Amino acid sequence: MTENKISIVLDKSQPIYMGMDVHKKTWSVCLVHCKQVVGKASLPADFEVLKKYLNRYEGFEIYSVYEAGFCGFSLHRQLISIGIKNIITPVHKIPTISGDRVKTDKIDCFKLAHFLANGLLKAIYIPTEEQINFRQIVRTRDQLKSKRIRVIAQIKNLLFQIGISVDAKQVSKKLRQHLLTLDLPSMFKMTLELHFEQLDLLQRQLKDLYKEIEKAGEESKSCKIYHIIKSTPAIGPILAMALTYEVADWKRFRNEKKICAFFGLTPSEFSSGERVCRGKITGQGNRMIRALLVQTSWKIIKQDLVMKEFFDRLAAQTGSKKKAIVAVARKLMCRIYSMVKNEREYALGLVA
């Protein structure tokens, strides 16, 4: 542990603000009291070491902050357990200083402490243990799907090397049986078989996860919200569970615009004076849910006439079906928010 000792008289009636720059092996901390730095240290990434370091400030009200990242919420819960009022702040919401081109762990934790003391940081929502567990099921499925896409791409590349072009998105059993009949080099055939075994394993895991997601949706504490979302045409257990637990607390969004912005479905804007310039969607937030909403929108325009008319009108105006379907996804998200807020199921042909 390295520490910079600072001799300043402390007033217990005033709080201490602690900024933390968290890494896998080390934590840099900076403590600000009455607008003065009263402590700086680089500690091993161990909560017990941090707790021992903070014992010298016993009797003080301590507020702390660290950036959202790989360590999740475990450190937050540990800090709360010893009476520290901690928040986790999103990286993209931290104020930037114009012309500041120097970045170190010491500077970062000082900035966090300074911004926290001046009330300039926003806190992210802290989900419950149940919400984290159910989130992870859907996120794991998305990771397995990405792995399956990579394995299929590797199989296609191998086949291309021997002059076999595969256009289909999936590698069918019929193709596999055909490959076994070909006179291929033994090592090449073995490599293909290993890739096919990986593909079979991923397929089984995805099926098992789908069943677990269905079961979790029915048994969770938020099953009412889950069923309201699932009443939407073309929305199955995956998207219903993802929305239920990625949003978690629907009341934290004041209106439809806020929740659409949360999922990156609102247009970016660069306007000044009389000049108004709107660009592509911001793309912030959860990529998986945004993709699922767009996929669902292609299906819902075939089932809901109002959504279809909305899509056709925008496609004609913009000359782009992609822009139109993103607008449908945004409208669908607004509709889902309204459904959950008013506790009513989806109604086909609803104009609002």
Q: What is the pLDDT of residue 314?
A: 94
Q: What is the pLDDT of residue 266?
A: 87
> What are the pLDDT digits (tens) for 186-238?
888 888 889 989 999 999 999 999 999 999 888 888 899 999 999 999 999 99
Amino acid found at 186: S
Task: Calculate the CA 272 to chain-centre distance.
Answer: 31
What angle, 0 to 180 degrees and rounded to 10, lies between the N-to-C axes of helices 237-247 and 287-300? 140
Q: What's the pLDDT band for 4 if we cut at 50, 70, 90? A: low
Half-sphere exposure (CA, 13 Å, Cβ side) for 70? 6
Domain ranges of the chain: 2-117, 129-221, 224-342
Q: Output the six-digit token pair for 232.
A: 């939407």
In CATH, which of 3.40.50.460, 3.30.420.40, 3.10.180.10, 3.30.1330.40 is domain 2-117?
A: 3.30.420.40
Q: Is the pLDDT of residue 168 over 70?
A: no
Q: What is the pLDDT of residue 80?
A: 96
- How big is the chain, counted in residues? 352
> What are the pLDDT digits (tens) for 281-294?
888 888 999 999 99
Average the pLDDT over 27-37 and give the result: 94
Given phi > 0 = left and psi -120 to 50 = alpha, else beta, which region is 34? left
With contact defined as beta carbons under 8 Å apart, do 14 and 33 qualify?
yes
> What are the pLDDT digits (tens) for 302-351?
999 999 999 999 999 999 999 999 999 999 999 999 999 999 999 887 76
Q: Is the pLDDT of residue 3 over 70?
A: no
The answer to whether the Cα torsion of 156, 159, 165, 166 is positive or negative is negative
Q: Is the pLDDT of residue 352 over 90?
A: no
Residues sharing a CB contact under 8 Å with residue 186, sequence separation 6 or more, in sequence order:
none
Q: What is the pLDDT of residue 270?
A: 64
Average the pLDDT over 69-94 and give the result: 93
Q: What is the pLDDT of residue 169?
A: 61
Q: What is the pLDDT of residue 142?
A: 94
> What are the pLDDT digits (tens) for 260-277?
999 999 887 665 566 656
Residues sharing a CB contact under 8 Å with residue 93, sequence separation 6 or more, in sequence order:
121, 122
Rounded CA separation 144/51 (Å): 38
292 vs 5, which has greater pLDDT? 292
Q: Is the pLDDT of residue 95 over 60?
A: yes
22-36, 42-56, 63-77, 265-279: which range is least confident on average?
A: 265-279
Half-sphere exposure (CA, 13 Å, Cβ side) for 81? 9
Residue with tokens 């602690």: 18
Rounded CA separation 44/52 (Å): 12
Q: What is the pLDDT of residue 350?
A: 72
With contact defined as beta carbons under 8 Å apart, do 64 and 84 qualify?
yes
- pTM comes to 0.84
